[in-house]
Amino acid sequence: MLSYLPLIFVLVGLVLYTVLAGADMGAGLWQLMTGRGPHAVRIRDHAHHTIGPVWEANHVWLIFVLTVLWTSYPTVFGSILSTLSVPFFLAAIGIILRGAAYALQSGTSIPRERRVIDTVFALSSILTPFALGAAVGGVASRRVPVGNAAGNLITSWLNPTSILVGVLAVMVAAFLAAVYLCSDAVRLGEPELVRSFRARAIGTGVITGVISIAGLAVLRFDAAPLFDGLVHGPGLAAIIVSGLAGIATLLLVGRRNPMRARGTAALAVAAIIAGWALAQQPVLLPGLTVEQAAASNRTMLAVVIAVLGGAVILFPSLALLFRLVLHGRFDPGAADAPATEVTPAPRPARGHGLQAWSAVGSLVVGAGLLVLADTGWAQALGVVFLANFIVLGYLACTPADIAAADPQKTGRSTTMEVTRADPTVR
Amino acid sequence: MQVCVLGLIAGCGGGGSVAAPATPNAMGFAAVDQGYLLQARQMQALSFAVHIPLVCFGIAFPVIILFVEWRYLRTGDELYRTLARRWTRVMVALFAVGVITGTILSFEMGLLWPAFTATFGGVFGLGFAVEGFSFFLEAIFAGIYVYGWDRLSPKMHFASGVPMAIAGFTGSLTVIAVNGWMNHPTGFTLRDGKVTDVHPFEALFENSYFWHELIHMYLAGYMVTGFVLAGAYSVGRLRGRWGRYERTALAIPLTIAALASPAQIVVGDWAARTVAEDQPIKLGALEGLGQTTRGAPEHLLGWYSAGEVHYGIAIPKLLSLLAYHNLNATVLGLNAFPPDQIPPVNVVRIAFQLMVGIGTALALLGVIYFVARARGKHLPDSAWFYRALVVAGPASVVALISGWVTTEVGRQPWVVYGVMRTSEAVTGAAGIPIGYGTLAAVYLGLVVAVVWILRRLAAAPLPPRNPPAPRYATTVGR
């Protein structure tokens, strides 16, 4: 049991990464396929804006998956990443370009620059899910043996199953993004955007479904054990759930209730990942079961404690973020907070000289303890004195006051001059 | 709970040789023949050098911004609010780049060093798993903080920044625990090449390198952030932009960095003495001490070859005094160790001297600032002071990277000190040069992009009071 729990965490992380960060990548993809004109600009801005507050948090699920995997099943991590180094490297490049392009998008509104940046963003938003999907395909079709780069560096990810999963990953991202963006447009009261993304959601949903069904034929020839697992028992149940949830999503989007469609769309995707896991268990890699791959019991227990403890903090925080976002608190033009009610506090007069000497004293004592003493508690005390030096030193320097009082003769400008407007940024 | 490592550490601490390298390795992860080990190491170093300055901003920038916002809440002075808002925009750009460069590092744990992770993931991995949660909190609350300006009440907004600042600290804490463990591996036993008897918490938090590395890095975070910010506003000062806003934006980070610098020297001394105790080879390399010497001198500058430092300035007995608090203490030279366990001496030594030299110069700059402050109630007048600050920003980044080169290259040829060689950790996959070249090109583009966006943000107007959301609303309807 203990050897399976972290694997469940990994799968939950993978599902959340797919349905959250995957949708962010899909939003990037939709930024490319807009055409031109004012409506296209609105589509791009809509796609850009909605992922703003959440994409970094969503991205962290990937880190979570990797770290729990390498702590709990180190051999599996080493085998997968070394044999599948090419797709993972491509995904890494995609992640760099995506993140950089996202940061740059807020730096310009010049159409020419925006076009270049949007294109990089969109292409990397396709590259990353494809490469990660291809890597999953390599694992699912048992092309990753145990060992340091023991598998084929090319065919482990350039094979029918990998290409299928890679393409599916891109389509799923586009589908999820369209559903979420449609729902966001409803909240924003933008009927034109709702129509645009409704069409996209239904289109990509249908295509994804068709590829999935056709894909089963690919799996039958290329990954027979996986195919068997998917058409029997619990694997089959998961596939059916996924199909039903997909159909429900299309109906909800078509019936103008895209808010609810978020949940069913995510369920459809989660069920596919669950189906893969159920079809493949208990084997992680060829000849290596979950039990065999698990790290020592003490490590597994530590992981379980750490993850459950972390979840107690993480999920309320995530809930807060998503509530703020989904309730439109971060939307453009959302009601501003009332103007501040702060009142200037009178500044008490302070003995700066005393503080300065206390700071110097703290530095001397802290240095003495750290340099001369060898015991742990003395070192800890030394660190406390150094911290005290910094705090007292800051109070003694009163940098904000001297900045305010500076009787400068050399400077010619005023506060407002730094605000010189760059014509390119408005 | 025996501290294991086959007694290797004790063995070399006593002046003897380090035992033969442990034979790898669990479950098919035998050492492979990798012709591009050096390139793999350089690729790792490049990834790290790009990421680590961003870590500094992750540690210190949220705290500094929150401090400025707190001053606004306390004084009601709009200036602090404007300052905090503008810095938030810079922070969010740097945070985004930090997120992606950090992701690359975690990929490289498997892309470059799969045998290391496959063998010891169960020992050190927990540190990263816990770090993941810090990363989550940082990302979540950064999102809330950045988008919450004007949309949350002032006090709620300030509160939303606090977890972000705490997570910046805890995240670096757990990662540094892993690095401390790599330098002083404890909490497991190696039996026939297999890792057994694992105590992950002991491995992470009971190694002797953890505390000083943590505090050294934490102070470095404030130094880099503070000096880079002060340097940026010094450029403005030299160009005549010197209103109250700029003076405040310079004085606050400058004061913080100037205070951190002298404290850093003390912590650095603590770190060096721990190295002397636990990794005498590293000490020998960073001092360029070829022969075991009683009353060893300290050499400044110079070049190490054939067992001694040439063209250096020798200060008699200083090394013995610094390392062991005894003028006549015997310091182990590199000749006391097998040649195949000695790190590349000049790389380590030059990096070490760069770090110490720059760190000392920065502390002196801090002292100059304090003296000027004590003599008058305003910032220094001399243009030279601001020119020095312009240099101090990039110099602090150089010192930061040099410090990491010192400890990481100084640990070579080991990835886990005394237990696993870097050559045993490396991937067997082909194509490292291609990956290295690609990553170098992409990172070059990334650096250019970051400079571009920071310049744009610096030129952008101060946000007006209660503006609409920045990008979306301005382009809609056009």
- Give Cα separations from B35 to B42, B409, B423 (angstroms): 13, 19, 10
Nearest Cα to A209, choosing from A141, A279, A269?
A: A269
Read off the amino acid at residue B129.
A
Mutate to test the interface with A, among B126, B379, B387, B465 (most CBs of A within 10 A): B126
Nearest residue on chain A to B206, alpha-carbon basis: A376
User: In angstroms, rounded to a whole number, what is the distance separating the alpha carbons of residues B449 and A335?
Assistant: 33
Question: What DSSP character marks residue A375?
Answer: S
User: In angstroms, rounded to a whole number, what is the distance separating the alpha carbons of residues A18 and B369?
Assistant: 52
CA angle A383/A389/A393 to nearest 5° reads 155
Q: Does A345 touch chain B (CB under 8 A)?
A: yes
- Give Cα separations from A185 to A259, A365, B35, B398 (angstroms): 10, 61, 54, 47
Q: Is B132's CB within 8 Å of A67's CB? A: yes
CA angle A208/A213/A218 to nearest 5° reads 110
Q: Is A366's CB within 8 Å of B131's CB? A: no
- Give Cα separations from A308 to A59, A66, B460 (angstroms): 20, 17, 44
**B450 contacts on A by Cβ (under 8 Å):** 100, 103
**B373 contacts on A by Cβ (under 8 Å):** 397, 402
Q: Is B251's CB within 8 Å of A400's CB? A: yes
Among the partner residues B93, B117, B118, nearest to A103 by beta-carbon distance: B93
Residue A413 has pLDDT above 60, yes or no: no
pLDDT on residue B17: 32
pLDDT on residue A155: 92
pLDDT on residue B20: 36
Cross-strand pairs, B331: B293
Q: Are strands B308-310 and A288-289 parallel, antiparallel or unpaired?
A: unpaired
From B470's Cα to the closest Cα of chain A, the distance in A is 8
First CA to last CA distance, chain B: 69
Among the residues of A73-110, which ranges form H helices? 74-83, 85-105
Per the structure block, which two tokens stand in for A46? 């809509």
- Do B219 and B263 contact (CB within 8 A), yes or no? yes
Rounded CA Rg of chain A: 27
* pLDDT < 70 regions, chain B: 1-28, 461-478
How many Cα atoms within 13 Å fall on the side-chain side of residue A52? 31
Instruction: pLDDT band for A329, please (50, 70, 90 cuts).
Output: confident
pLDDT on residue A9: 94
User: In angstroms, rounded to a whole number, what is the distance separating the alpha carbons of residues A311 and A288?
Assistant: 29
- Do A4 and A52 contact (CB within 8 A), yes or no? no
* More reliable by pLDDT, B9 or A36: A36
State the complex-level ipTM.
0.88
Average pLDDT over residues A326-333: 78
pLDDT on residue B22: 38
* More reliable by pLDDT, A280 or B467: A280
How many Cα atoms within 13 Å fall on the side-chain side of residue A303? 36
- Do B84 and B68 contact (CB within 8 A), yes or no? yes
Residue A63 has pLDDT above 70, yes or no: yes
> Per mean pLDDT, which of A188-202, A224-238, B44-58, B303-317 is the most reliable?
B44-58
- Do A424 and A108 contact (CB within 8 A), yes or no? yes
Q: Is A60's CB within 8 Å of B136's CB? A: yes
Q: Is B459's CB within 8 Å of A81's CB? A: no
pLDDT on residue A333: 67
User: In angstroms, rounded to a whole number, what is the distance separating the alpha carbons of residues A230 and A277?
Assistant: 10
pLDDT on residue B4: 34
Listed range (A103-107, A264-268, B106-110) with the worst mean pLDDT: A103-107
| DSSP state string for B305-342 | ETTEEESPEEETTHHHHHHHS-TT-EE--GGGS-GGG-
Q: Is B110's CB within 8 Å of A80's CB? A: yes
Residue A369 has pLDDT above 60, yes or no: yes
Mutate to test the interface with B, among A10, A31, A49, A56 (most CBs of B within 10 A): A56
What is the percent of chain B where pLDDT is above 70? 90
pLDDT on residue B12: 33
Among the partner residues B81, B135, B260, nearest to A60 by beta-carbon distance: B135
Name A29's Cβ contacts closer than 8 Å, sequence gap at least 6: A122, A125, A126, A170, A173, A174, A177
Query: Count of CB contacts below 8 A, A vs B?
Result: 437
Whole-number average pLDDT of chain A:
85
pLDDT on residue A242: 93
pLDDT on residue A420: 39
H/E stretch holding A285 reads: strand A283-285
pLDDT on residue B26: 45
User: In angstroms, rounded to a whole number, what is the distance separating the alpha carbons of residues A56 and A51?
Assistant: 9
**B215 contacts on A by Cβ (under 8 Å):** 383
Provide the whole-model pTM.
Answer: 0.88
Q: Tell me the residue length of chain A.
A: 426
Q: What are phi and psi of A350, to 5 degrees?
A: -130, 155
pLDDT on residue A139: 94
**A56 contacts on B by Cβ (under 8 Å):** 95-96, 99, 139, 142-143
SS3 per-residue string spanning A162-182 = HHHHHHHHHHHHHHHHHHHHH
Q: Is B114's CB within 8 Å of A81's CB? A: yes
From B296's Cα to the closest Cα of chain A, the distance in A is 19
Helix (H, G, I), strand (E, B) or coil at A187: helix
H/E stretch holding A271 reads: helix A258-280
| Sign of CA pseudo-dihedral A148, A152, A154, A159 | negative
User: In angstroms, rounded to a whole number, what is the distance separating the alpha carbons of residues B102 and A177?
Assistant: 25
Nearest Cα to B198, choosing from B30, B3, B26, B21?
A: B3
pLDDT on residue A40: 81
Among the partner residues B123, B259, B477, nearest to A390 by beta-carbon distance: B259
User: In angstroms, rounded to a whole number, what is the distance separating the alpha carbons of residues B271 and A116?
Assistant: 47
pLDDT on residue B11: 31
Helix (H, G, I), strand (E, B) or coil at A297: helix
